[in-house]
Amino acid sequence: MFQWTSKYNIDQPTVDEEHRELFAMINRIGEDIAAGDDSVDELESALDALLDYARTHFADEEAIMQEQQVDPRHIKRQQMEHRSFFYEIEKLRSLTADEPMAERYEKLLTFVTNWLIFHTLRTDQQLGIQLRAIAAGSEPAQAFEQSETQALSAVLYRPMVEALVHLWSDAMERVHELEKQLAAGAGSSTEDASRLEST
Ligand SMILES: [Fe+2]
C-alpha cells in the first residue's frame, strides 16, 4: 500500500491527478487480493485496466513535455522508462504464469507499485523542476541542467529509496532463480554427455 499525498505533486494538474489515480487503482487491487474474493479473471481485468490507465497517463505526460518544449534529453529518458515498464511487466507476467493466484498478483502489483513510486518520485519530479523553470522563463536546456543538479525534496527520498531497494532485491531474486535453472540445465547436459561417452 502506498498513499499518494500532495507532497509528491509536480504542480502539473493533469500529471498530479493521474498519479493519484494510478496509486488509488493499485490500492483497490491490493485490497481485493487481500480480501481473497476475486477470481483470476477479475484480477486479470483489473490489472489490464491499470496498465491501460498507465499507458494513457504516459502518453498524456509525453504530450505535455512536447507542448512545453521540455529538453529532448529528458523526453527521451521518459519515453525509455515508460516503455521499459511495459516490457518488464509483460516479462514478469509470463514468468509468474504458473504461480498460485494470490502470490502471482501480489508480485505483479508489488512490481508495479515500486516501479511507479521510483519513477514518479525521481524522473517525474525532475520533469516538475523543468516545467516550473520553463514557466519562470528558463530555456529548456537550462531547465534540464537544473533538474540534473538540483537536489530533490527530502520527503521524496525515503519512499524512493525503499522502492529502489525492493526493485533491486526482486531483480536479484529473479537472477538467482535463473542461475539455478542454468545450473540444473548444465548438470543435465553434463550427465547427457557422460552417458553418451559411456555408450
Ligand atoms: Fe513519467
Residues 115-152 have pLDDT tens digits of: 999 999 999 999 999 999 999 999 999 999 999 999 88
* Domain assignment present for 50: yes
For the chain, the domain total comes to 1
Cell of 27: 490500492
Burial class (CB in 10 A: 0-12, 13-18, 19+), 31: exposed
Q: What does the alpha-carbon distance between residue 108 and residue 127 come to, in Å, rounded to a whole number?
A: 27
Instruction: Give the pLDDT score at 191.
Output: 58
Residues 54-104 have pLDDT tens digits of: 999 999 999 999 999 999 999 999 999 999 999 999 999 998 999 998 889
Ligand 1 centre to CA of 79 (Å) is 8
* Domain assignment present for 21: yes
The domain in which residue 142 lies consists of: 6-198
Q: In terms of Cα–Cα distance, which of 82, 77, 91 is closest to 18?
A: 82
CATH of the domain at 82: 1.20.120.50
Phi, psi dihedral angles at 137 (to 5 degrees): 110, 0
* Domain assignment present for 121: yes
DSSP code of residue 98: T
* Domain assignment present for 1: no
Ligand 1 centre to CA of 21 (Å) is 14
Ligand 1 centre to CA of 80 (Å) is 10
Ligand 1 centre to CA of 40 (Å) is 29
* Domain assignment present for 162: yes
Ligand 1 centre to CA of 179 (Å) is 32
